């Protein structure tokens, strides 16, 4: 009987936030892993996640199909994690999220490889958000090329290297006032990145339904106000939460889209916040969730203290085990 060590999995975008967790999960299951990244020389942090020679990084740019074909050579499974939150230069939503997904899927189909594609809750061809429309376009292209592909749609992800909880904690250090875009009523279902990685590895194992779209959310549906309150409790800081109407937020975003670090906010991100980001009732009924895969999701309050402790006031210590 063939073992996982006989299976080569090519992970596109494997050096990013979700990518390193997916690579770790696959390495623990003894797969051979080829990681397709734009800058292989910056992917050295992946090597300790597996055994010697188990993980190999190669140069890939989804805008260049030849590099995708080279990365897929000899692969049995492709996992596409490539995505961008904001566009920059030639790295647009259409080029990377939509057309890039199509390139990976078409290449996987030509190679006879299985495909796991990570999209996002909120993917919608009719959305006012360019990001959400590109995600939907990518999903459509994936299923057109590989009808048996498994698509995973996580809600907003949190974890040690995230741009979510870390971002709001950093903002709390910079300002005594934190804005609640749209009044903070938008609902989300934050999901731990490690749980999403486990789902991706399960899909590579063949435990997920072929051709299905899974929606991955955490154990709680929280408003943006509640999320901010959790983060402030964890870092033990008091800040005023001030409602900011969508119209004013969009106007501010016209300028803040060029800001660095945690201050960055784009008009498209404001548009996304107009829609709840939660697992649908249809996905729950069909068992196309983390729980449907046998995964019990971790909550924000259980995980974020393990890495947000560093935002606490000087002199306070990290929680045990952090």
- DSSP notation for 65-83: HHHHHHHHTT-SEEEE---
The whole-number pLDDT of residue 185 equals 97
Q: Which of 102, 208, 105, 227 is nearest to 156 (CA)?
A: 227
Distances (CA, A) of 270 to 134, 258, 282: 16, 15, 26
Res 263: pLDDT: 85
**225 near 185, Cβ under 8 Å?**
yes
Give the model's pLDDT for residue 315.
45
What would the two tokens of residue 270 be? Answer: 């404001």
How many beta carbons lie within 10 A of that of residue 178, not counting itself? 18
Question: How many whole angstroms separate alpha carbon 121 and alpha carbon 181?
Answer: 19
Give the model's pLDDT for residue 304: 96
CB 53 within 8 A of CB 27: no
**Mind giving me the DSSP string for 113-148?**
-EEEEE--TT--TT-S-HHHHHHHHHHHHHHHH-TT
Q: According to the model, what pLDDT value does residue 317 have?
A: 55
| Confidence (pLDDT) at 316 | 55
pLDDT at 261: 80
Contacts of 100 (CB under 8 A, 6+ apart): 62, 63, 80, 82, 138
Interatomic CA distance for residues 181 and 270, integer angstroms: 8
Each of the 322 residues of the chain gets a pLDDT tens digit; together they read 468 989 999 999 999 999 999 999 999 999 999 999 999 988 889 999 999 999 999 999 999 999 999 999 999 999 999 988 887 778 899 999 999 999 999 999 999 999 999 999 999 999 999 999 999 999 999 999 999 999 999 999 999 999 999 999 999 998 999 999 999 999 999 999 999 999 999 999 999 999 999 999 999 999 999 999 999 999 999 999 999 999 999 999 999 998 888 888 999 999 999 999 999 999 999 999 999 999 999 999 999 999 999 998 764 555 555 5
């Amino acid at each position: 009987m063939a073992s996982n060590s006989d299976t080569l999995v090519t992970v596109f975008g494997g050096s990013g936030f979700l990518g390193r967790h997916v690579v770790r999960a696959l390495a623990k299951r003894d797969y051979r892993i080829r990681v397709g990244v734009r800058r292989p020389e910056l992917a050295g942090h992946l090597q300790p996640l597996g055994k010697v020679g188990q993980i190999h990084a190669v140069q890939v740019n989804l805008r260049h199909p030849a590099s995708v074909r080279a990365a897929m050579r000899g692969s049995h499974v492709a996992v596409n994690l490539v995505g961008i939150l904001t566009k920059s230069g030639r790295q647009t939503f259409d080029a990377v999220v939509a057309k890039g997904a199509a390139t990976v899927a078409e290449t996987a189909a030509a190679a006879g490889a299985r495909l796991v594609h990570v999209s996002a809750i909120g993917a919608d061809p009719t959305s006012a958000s360019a990001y959400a429309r590109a995600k939907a376009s990518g999903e459509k292209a994936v299923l057109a090329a590989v009808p048996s592909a498994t698509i995973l749609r996580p809600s907003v992800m949190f974890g040690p290297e995230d741009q979510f909880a870390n971002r709001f904690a950093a903002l709390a250090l910079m300002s005594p006032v934190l804005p609640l875009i749209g009044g903070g009523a938008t609902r989300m279902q934050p999901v731990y990145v490690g749980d999403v990685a486990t789902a991706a590895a399960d899909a590579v194992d063949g435990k997920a339904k072929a051709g299905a779209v899974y929606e991955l959310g955490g154990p709680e549906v929280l408003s943006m106000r509640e999320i901010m309150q959790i983060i402030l409790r964890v870092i033990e800081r008091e800040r005023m939460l001030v409602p900011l109407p969508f119209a004013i937020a969009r106007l501010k975003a016209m300028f803040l889209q060029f800001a660095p670090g945690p201050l960055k906010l784009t008009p498209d991100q404001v548009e996304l916040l107009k829609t709840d980001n939660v697992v649908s009732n249809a996905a729950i009924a069909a068992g196309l969730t983390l729980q449907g895969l046998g995964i019990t999701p971790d909550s924000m309050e259980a995980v974020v203290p393990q890495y947000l402790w560093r935002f606490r006031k000087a002199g306070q210590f990290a929680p045990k085990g952090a």
